Amino acid sequence: MTIEPSYFEYPHRGPGMDHDRYEYRRLATAKPVTWPNGAKLLVWVTLHLEHFPLNMPSKPFIPAGGMSRPGLSVWDYTQRDYGNRVGFYRLMKLFDRHGIKPTVAMNSQVAVRYPYLLDRIVERSWEIAASGTDMGHLHYGGLDEAAEREQVQRSFAELRRLSGQAVTGWHSPAHSQSQNTPDLVAEAGALYIADWINDDMPYSFSTANATLTQMPLSYDLSDRKILYQQALPSAVYAHQIEMACQCLRQEADTRGGRILSLSLSPWVAGLPAQIRTIDNLLGRILATPDTRAATGEEIRGYWVESTSK
């Protein structure tokens, strides 16, 4: 079999990476970032509020936490719905007590279907980031561009209209993108996106419409991966978070400000067996004077200001 020379041709071939979305950067040698008021570590708490349709499709794939049983799985559906009915309020009280304003990565259908949740978020001035329409409408390679544009525009439009917020952030449901997602998100007026998990700090991300900031929303440290998918004990979850916190603080001593990203799902973190662990963990992390909580948009603004000097 003969392979044609054109098979090896790729217009974006170059050192470091093979695309033009961002410039190659090694964090170890990157320009140090300075956070306001002497902070070394910013804790970015992201609360994922999602609507899993009872009859959600199995294609293109089942997202983490999606209905894995065949047919209409009431067991799966009600477990996820528990987060929006019960777990959310436990986390809300916890955040109030620790003075945390999280970023709420929200499916727009949650705002439509659960207006009482949106009311609690808005009255606390928590940041809302768009996260698609619902967990049954994913963004993936091969999705028709017009259909995806409608999903992106609808998510931003509904959340902005119902919340009154600018809604400048985006996180794709299930951490999945098509080749067009970043361009469509920028087209919708977003300022940052949180889908690529290849760095611990923000970086500039080029699109066909504007330059976005790619934010480091960790999946490896999420409750969904450690407590749900891997089914590890709460003590292991807390240990991993605290070890990450220790590492990032040590780096901040010599390399500038760092970000600890904590992703929480109310149907996981809001369970009675987990909430005390989350409470104690946040108390220990935020007890250090040079550590404070910040929203995604706050961090983006600090990073842009620091790197533009």
Q: What is the mean pLDDT of residues 51-70?
A: 78
> pLDDT-derived band of residue 132, with 50, 70 and 90 as boundaries?
very high
Residue 54 falls inside a structural domain: yes
The overall average pLDDT reported for the chain is 93
Residue 22 falls inside a structural domain: no
The predicted structure's pLDDT at residue 134: 95
Residue 14 falls inside a structural domain: no
Sign of CA dihedral 219, 132, 61, 113: positive
Contacts of 66 (CB under 8 A, 6+ apart): 52, 56, 76, 135, 174
Tell me whether residue 289 is exposed, middle or buried, using C-beta atoms within 10 angstroms of its C-beta: 0 to 12, 13 to 18, 19 or more: exposed
pTM of whole model > 0.75? yes
What's the rounded Cα separation, in Å, for the pair 21 and 208?
10
60: cis peptide before it, omega within 30°?
Answer: yes
Q: How many domains does the chain have?
A: 1
The predicted structure's pLDDT at residue 18: 75
Residue 216 falls inside a structural domain: yes
Residue 71 falls inside a structural domain: yes
Residue 190 has pLDDT above 70, yes or no: yes
Residue 217 near residue 263, CB atoms below 8 Å: yes
Reading the block at residue 173, the tokens are 């449901």
Residue 29 falls inside a structural domain: no
What percent of the chain stands above pLDDT 70? 97
Task: Characterize the bridge pairing of strands 211-214 and 203-206.
Answer: antiparallel
Residue 41 near residue 248, CB atoms below 8 Å: yes
Residue 69 has pLDDT above 80, yes or no: no
Higher pLDDT, 29 or 194: 194
Residue 153 near residue 185, CB atoms below 8 Å: no
Residues 140, 143, 145, CA angle at the centre, nearest 5°?
A: 120
Q: What is the mean pLDDT of residues 190-217?
A: 96
Q: Which domain holds residue 283?
A: 35-307
Residue 65 has pLDDT above 80, yes or no: no
Q: For residue 188, give the CATH number of its domain.
A: 3.20.20.370
Which tens digit of pLDDT belongs to each residue from 273-284?
999 999 999 999
Residue 6 falls inside a structural domain: no
> pLDDT-derived band of residue 215, with 50, 70 and 90 as boundaries?
very high
Helix or strand (DSSP H, E) at 241:
helix 234-255
Residue 17 falls inside a structural domain: no
Alpha-carbon 194 to chain mean position:
5
What's the rounded Cα separation, in Å, for the pair 134 and 143?
15
Phi/psi for 211 (5° steps) reads -95, 125
Q: What is the mean pLDDT of residues 259-276?
A: 97
Neighbours of 235 (CB within 10 A): 9
Higher pLDDT, 148 or 308: 148
Residue 65 near residue 87, CB atoms below 8 Å: no
What's the rounded Cα separation, in Å, for the pair 176 and 181?
9
